[in-house]
Amino acid sequence: MSQGALAKRQFGHRARLVLSPAEVPVAEAQAHAARTMWNLLHAWWQMMPKDKRTLAQADDAVRQARKDLDFLAVLPAQAAQAVLKTYVQAWKNCWQGRADAPNFKGRFRSFMSVDIPQGRDLNIKRVHRRWGMVNLPRIGRIRFRWTKDLPIGKHASTENRISGARLIKNALGWHIAFRVTTLEPKPEPHRGGEVGIDVGVTVPLAVKSARGTVEEPARNVAQKAGLNRSIAAEAWGRTVTMLTYKTARYGGSLVKVPGPGTSQRCSACGVTTAGSRESQAVFVCKNPDCGWSGNADHNAARNILHLYRIGLVAFPAAGRAVVRRARRVKPPTVR
């Protein structure tokens, strides 16, 4: 196959880690230090005048903080630099209209994670059909579940390699997410169907209100409210990024469309009437000649697909408001 028929792909692969009881506190200490570093950096950013908010000044502040605060020293230097890089990129995304402004990270409302920006530091080895070993800075050699072939050893090259990783803790324990860069054949154009996607808070997990009604008060209100906050706080921009490369990998494409109005417009008759969005989950068209009813997110997704089919897409020149609206409310059409 010729070089022109190849394309550079970047994707992630998550594997389960097996940490000993002595290694778990070390990983947690690094994650807490990374979160604290982010919060200190955000406080410094807000305190400094605008002309002092430079990358060099921020780098000096990070280095000084690691010297002054002992508990920050558990975080490897490269991981601390990764926090700085991520924070600066978060502001760039905000200025370009792709995301909201960065904020402080709460202890119980953010995932525990530590970035390992250099892939060469991992020193990955496969020791068994089901297990591999990876080197984690300041933690040691750790076993992980081998579920996918990785470009290591003689199979690694400049085009096919592991560029870094991230340690992540969730309800199932500690995992490692490898960042893999590969050179793959360009897929043939996908000639399948088209689908519109709408971000829904109620459909994926619950339709019923967390608080209930006076006649039927709900149970576990605090837990459900926290769950809804977690859903709303999901990184939808990252979801769009993942959909983009996954559809491209199989020959498809992902297109953004303007989001305003798609939740209030009836997908059956195309008329927008007041009061049609009866709740977060239910849409009932108030047009006397229509009366269509259905799931509100499904209705919005149908409108999104219709906008794509008539050629109304959110081009980059459409402006910051359109891009932000498309990110926060409506992910794009996939075909």
* In contact, 199 and 327? CB cutoff 8 Å: no
Residue 334: what pLDDT?
Answer: 44
Residue 320: what pLDDT?
Answer: 31
State pTM to two decimals.
0.65
Q: Give the SS3 label for residue 162.
A: strand
List the alpha helices (DSSP H) in 170-235: 221-232
Residue 4: what pLDDT?
Answer: 53
Residue 28: what pLDDT?
Answer: 94
* In contact, 313 and 304? CB cutoff 8 Å: no
Q: In which residue ranges of the chain is pLDDT below 50?
A: 1-3, 203-206, 208-215, 315-335
Residue 139: what pLDDT?
Answer: 92
